[in-house]
Amino acid sequence: MISFAWPWISLFLPLPWLFRRWMPPMSATPSALFIPWAQELEEMGSRPLDTPARQGRFWLMLFLWLALISASMRPQWMGEAVPLPNVGRDLMLAVDISGSMETEDFVLNRRTVDRLTAAKSVASEFIDRRKGDHIGLILFGTHAYLQSPLSFDLPTIKQLLNDTVIGAAGTDTAIGEAIGLGIRHLRDRPEKDRVLILMTDGANTAGNVSPLEAAEMAAKYGIRIYTIGIGADELIIRSFFGDRKLNPSSDLDEETLEAIAEQTQGRYFRARDIEEMQQIYQLLDELEPVEQEAQHFRPVTELYIWPLGFALLMSMLIFWSERREWI
């Protein structure tokens, strides 16, 4: 469609007539401003258009004025609306793959599974819902390493998460190192959208960085950290000598995880079963919502050059007609 950026300029259309109607007649005194066709306008206003040449010049100047007004109104061709990708948050997932994650205390689809399998299932659904976010993946055990940098390619992130195996990064737990790696990849991203979700089932037992020191550094960069402690509170072990109850999450350092979240204006969550884990990720969707409003832009092509070129053509024709009379 065609639109005008400055349609108010159309109010100048009757300007020549207003000048002719209300301005006093031109005096014989030479004017400081030379208008080549001012005399022609005066003659047109005082004499009838009784010759084809005079009629032709009148229409040429009328078209010239209309073209100049049209060009000044900045006609534009508005193209079809083009959707823009939603740009959401920069979100890093830090997943514990230490040896303790092989503890089978979760039930998924009526089947007992280890903690990492449960985490993969719920986190994969979470990733599917984060369209528009930059998501990266950190895996940590004895050491932390970047499995995927921040990316819009959510299917690949999910596949990389599902391909992880327990113990690939060592059997210990380097929580501080995982936070430090997250800071390194989030600190240069836009402010207010830097988020780290850290999931673990233990305490910091490896690495050279204290979790609280890393959290302090994250707070300086405005990175919010949501910590999730996973693992059941009670596990029944059946044996020949009878059933025995134990707490499989006795090594979980909830105090440190709470302090990390509080220091970075995040939150700490406790996931004792698959249902609680799903509720936690749904709550994270509410705390860090994805931009839902679709954004579009219309490509704009300026068209003023066409009426301006037409005005130039009219000027040349007027000049040519004047030259013929002079000759």
For the cut 90, the answer to whether the pLDDT of residue 147 exceeds it is: yes
- What's the CATH code, domain 86-287? 3.40.50.410
Task: Give the integer Cα–Cα distance in Å for 84 and 269.
Answer: 34
Would you say 91 and 133 are in contact if contact means Cβ atoms under 8 Å apart? Answer: yes
Report angle CA 72, 78, 84 to the nearest 5 degrees. Answer: 135
212 DSSP 8-state letter:
H
What tokens does 230 get?
């996973």
What tokens does 94 get?
């830090």
Task: Give the integer Cα–Cα distance in Å for 236 and 192.
Answer: 44
Q: Against a cut of 0.85, is the pTM above it?
A: no
Task: Sketch the domain layout of the chain as residue ranges.
Answer: 2-79+298-326, 86-287
For the cut 70, the answer to whether the pLDDT of residue 260 exceeds it is: yes
Q: Which pLDDT tens digit goes with each residue over 171-204?
A: 999 999 999 999 999 988 877 789 999 999 989 9
Closest CA to 67 of 305, 316, 308: 308
Task: Give the integer Cα–Cα distance in Å for 85 and 88.
Answer: 9
- Range in 134-143, 212-221, 258-267, 284-293 with the lowest mean pLDDT: 284-293
**Over residues 233-255, mean pLDDT:** 73
Q: Which pLDDT tens digit goes with each residue over 292-307?
A: 555 666 778 888 888 8
163 DSSP 8-state letter:
T
